Structure 1
């Protein structure tokens, strides 16, 4: 247990290391969310711009 506590203290630099890890994780999560939202928006826009496919068999039926 002592070695784990020593690891968490990071040789006295824990006050700098752990917040840096937290900020990096938050930025990566934000980028992932922004990328996902952008992909969904592009898919919706592509779906709106895609022409409607004609029915099979030629003529439209009433």
Structure 2
């Protein structure tokens, strides 16, 4: 099976029959959206872990105080 290039040149490939702007713009927007989702998810996960860490620390302090009061 031999694969053939469907366009006459690389610039024709980029132009995509005068639809290249829209094609590459959609790829760019999709890439930016995916990158933003990954960044936002990691940021939110970090915040959640920090919040859990604070809650566990508070809980530990309360347990230590209640043990001290006994």
TM-score in terms of structure 1 length: 0.72
The ranges of structure 1 where at least 4 consecutive aligned residues each deviate by more than 6 angstroms after the TM superposition are none
Q: How many equivalent residue pairs? A: 52
| Counterpart in the other structure of 2:19 | 13
Give the distance between the partners of 1:5 and 1:15, measured in 2 at CA: 12
Query: Unaligned 5+ residue runs, structure 2?
Result: 1-7, 61-70
Secondary structure of 1:11's partner?
coil
| Counterpart in the other structure of 2:52 | 46
| Counterpart in the other structure of 1:23 | 29
Structure of larger gyration radius: 2
Give the distance between the partners of 1:46 and 1:35, measured in 2 at CA: 16
Query: Unaligned 5+ residue runs, structure 1?
Result: 53-62
Higher relative contact order (CA closer than 8 Å, sequence separation 6+):
1
